[in-house]
Amino acid sequence: MRAVTSDVRFPTARSGAGSDAMNRDPDYSAAYVALETDHPEGLTGHGLTFTIGRGTEVCVAAIEALAPHVVGADVEELVEDLGGSWRRLVTDTQLRWLGPEKGVIHLATAAVVNAVWDLYAKLERKPLWKLLSDLTPEQLVACIDFSYIEDVLTPDDALELLHRSRAGKSEREATLLRDGFPAYTTSAGWLGYPEQTLPERARAALADGFTHLKLKVGGDLESDLRRARIIRETIGPDNRLSLDANQAWGVQQAIEAINVLAEVDPWWIEEPTSPDDVLGLARIRDAVAPVRVATGEHVQNRVIFKQLLQLGAIDVCQLDCCRLGGVNEVLAVVLLAAKFGVPVCPHAGGVGLCEYAQHVSMFDYVAVGASLDDRVCEFVDHLHEHFVDPVRVARGRYLAPTAPGYSIEIKPESLAEFAFPDGASWWSEEVPA
Ligand SMILES: [Mg+2]
């Protein structure tokens, strides 16, 4: 097996799309890896980790540092022991110092691990959600690293949860294939969008079938409230409106701001403060109920999620498929959330995150959480045209992917055009918005 890496950057900053309180000018990017094999069908596994511009080259370098753990490996052997493959990557005796299990090295781990799972799903000729749903509880548990979470979730607990969720599984799969999985949209409410455009954007979201919208806050509080009122007035009392502060506030400031914004009846407040402040998030949650607290896109590993859940600091688990160390660690967090009865509503958007996240939501519904109650997967309508198997969203729902793999393969022509810094889009005068 060979690993071919790419630094891919889309010049999104110019349109204001993707802007929030902390990330004002994101150029949605990916540190991307293709694991090429000698398999007779020419199978290649694809994985990426999401970045927002400068620094993508650092992630690419980290992927290259990890690559020797898979380069030259036999594909069948690699996927036969996915738990062991993950352990080898995260316990590299020298690279581990760079984390452990956090930061750039963990983002890179996710790209490689997800590429291995993409390859596995392609070998099995199943979309990833279906591959995971069809694994036995024992096979799934064998993929999970229980170190540092075993005090709260043992392999036996996980097995019991998974066995319990087997009841009704085929009915849920049929429902999923028929109806899709509920999505909510972030596209109407970026912080950089002028106030006067919000009603039209919110109406367009409702017309597309969404019943749950999200608005970026964490700017000037008066302006946040004004913008939130506009969206609430436009969508009426029965649709859901969530707010996302992207870590803009300190703990006390968050409590005060949310108490003001409570006027618009938010469904959740997302990332009110630092994702590492487990105690602070717990305090905020106590102070702002019944507004739910959501976080996860920057929660770096299963250990922090364990603490957030243990302390009752979050109502919504927004795990990210390439912030955590790829599918193996996502499985751990999905099971932790199920144990605490907290719904998983994965973080998505960016580039490729919707393609990833849909699989996790669908697997969770079919085989773990076994419910659609308050489960919703984020949707942002960006950059899907660059993927070979893009998400399909209709009437506010993700339709279940059917092509084998993890849906993360980028079209070769897009890789060429948006490669940084040599792709045509980076030196032409006419940069696409
Ligand atoms: Mg967010």
Structural domain contains residue 310: yes
Structural domain contains residue 200: yes
Can you give the pLDDT at residue 132?
98
Count of structural domains, the chain: 2
The sign of the CA dihedral 363, 366, 368, 372 is positive
Annotation says 102 is catalytic: no
Cα(1)–Cα(72) distance, integer angstroms: 5
Structural domain contains residue 146: no
CA of 370 to the centre of ligand 1 (A): 25
Structural domain contains residue 142: no
CATH code at 176? Answer: 3.20.20.120
Annotation says 347 is catalytic: yes
Shared domain check, 269 and 191: yes
Can you give the pLDDT at residue 21?
78
Can you give the pLDDT at residue 428?
65
Residues in Cβ contact with 327 at an 8 Å cutoff, skipping those fewer than 6 apart: 113, 114, 117, 128, 132, 143, 321, 406
Structural domain contains residue 263: yes
Shared domain check, 249 and 352: yes
Cα(419)–Cα(158) distance, integer angstroms: 42
CA of 160 to the centre of ligand 1 (A): 32
Per-residue pLDDT of the chain (433 residues; tens, 9 = 90+): 899 999 999 998 877 777 787 877 899 999 999 999 998 888 999 999 999 999 999 999 999 999 999 999 998 899 999 999 999 999 999 999 999 999 999 999 999 999 999 999 999 999 999 999 999 999 999 999 999 999 999 999 999 999 999 999 999 999 999 999 999 999 888 888 899 999 999 999 999 999 999 999 999 999 999 999 999 999 999 999 999 999 999 999 999 999 999 999 999 999 999 999 999 999 999 999 999 999 999 999 999 999 999 999 999 999 999 999 999 999 999 999 999 999 999 999 999 999 999 999 999 999 999 999 999 999 999 899 999 999 999 999 999 999 999 999 999 999 999 999 999 888 765 555 4
Structural domain contains residue 154: no
Structural domain contains residue 432: no
CATH code at 30? Answer: 3.30.390.10
Q: Which of 122, 212, 214, 216 is catalytic?
A: 216
Shared domain check, 402 and 258: yes
Structural domain contains residue 228: yes
CA of 290 to the centre of ligand 1 (A): 20
Domain range for 58 is: 2-136
Q: Considering the entire predicted model, what is its pTM?
A: 0.97
Can you give the pLDDT at residue 430?
53
CA of 33 to the centre of ligand 1 (A): 25
CA of 266 to the centre of ligand 1 (A): 15
Q: Which of 69, 130, 212, 347 is catalytic?
A: 347
CA of 20 to the centre of ligand 1 (A): 9
